[in-house]
Amino acid sequence: MGNMLFLGNLGAAEIIVIALIILLLFGGKKIPELMKGLGKGVRSFKEGVNNIEKDIENSGSEEKK
């Protein structure tokens, strides 16, 4: 992930400005709620990927029998 094309060449100053704009738009109370929702979404995605991997492994071992 060293080369993130969608981020371009963002430096520390640009990231700080973006963070301040987000803080102004959403306020200090909404940001933790947004991050909690984002975390739940990422966790759900990872569980789905793990379940698919397990299904693939199980179907591969059934074919060998």
What does the pLDDT look like over 17-44, one tens digit per residue?
Answer: 988 898 888 888 888 888 899 899 999 9
**pTM, rounded to two decimals:** 0.53
Q: Bigger pLDDT: 25 or 61?
A: 25
Angle at CA of residue 57, ends 63 and 59, nearest 5°: 35
Neighbour-count burial of 31, counting CB atoms closer than 10 A to its CB (0-12 exposed, 13-18 middle, 19+ buried): middle
Q: Tell me 1's DSSP state.
A: -
- Which residue's entry shows tokens 């990927």? 49
Looking at per-residue pLDDT, the higher value among 47 and 27 belongs to: 47
Q: Which helix (H) or strand (E) holds 34?
A: helix 12-64
**Which residues 6+ apart lie within 8 Å of 22 measured at CB?**
31
pLDDT at 59 over 70: yes
